[in-house]
Amino acid sequence: MAALTRDRWIRAGLEALDQEGFQAVSAERLARRLNVTRGSFYHHFDSREAFVRALLAEWEADYTGRMLAHAAQGRGAQDILARYLEIAAQKRPGREVAIRAWALQDPLVAEFQDRVDRTRLSFALSVCRPLVRSEAEAERIARAVHLCLIGGQQAGDRRDPAAFGALLQGVAALVGAGLDPRD
């Protein structure tokens, strides 16, 4: 059996979030999942808080940093927003649902969730801003994209990746139709 690493603990935590929700993210439950002792957890992490920070940092990097980097490679605002929603549809929306529920109960998780939301919204706003007549209009469109992503994750569509992807692509088309390119 391969040596248990810090990354494996984080992957196990993310899998637990996906399958059982945030309540499953404890040293004891993760140790059982990995079939090791709880002491192994503390070999890799000084505390539960250190683990939660590492877990959420990985989620933030993957579900925001890499997602936005992929979207930014698009050609034009419509393509960028479509890529943003497309890659979001490919992620595990249940993970986001679990983290949002966890954030309601844990200030540390809420801090990460707030930063992720602000980063995503800022990205959508930066894409929309040059294409519309006013800052208020850019904010409305950016918020619509952001809230459709969150709403789609919370809705039952998240259990059907094809339906979730179709929903987000439909949103991208509607938003794109409302943009007024000023080249």
Q: Write out the CATH class of domain 1-45.
A: mainly alpha
State whether the Cα torsion 25-86-144-161 is positive or negative: negative
- The segment(s) of the chain belonging to CATH 1.10.357 are 56-178
Say which DSSP state 61 is in: I
Residue 146 has which token pair? 């952001």
- The segment(s) of the chain belonging to CATH 1.10.10.60 are 1-45
CATH topology of domain 56-178: Tetracycline Repressor; domain 2 (1.10.357)
Contact 14, 4 (CB under 8 A): no
pTM: 0.84
Kindly give the confidence (pLDDT) of every residue in the chain, 183 residues in length, as a single tens digit, with 9 standing for 90 and above: 457 899 999 999 999 999 999 999 999 999 999 999 888 999 999 999 999 999 999 999 998 999 899 999 999 887 887 788 777 777 787 888 899 999 999 999 999 999 999 999 999 899 888 888 899 998 988 898 788 778 777 776 656 667 766 766 676 666 666 555 544
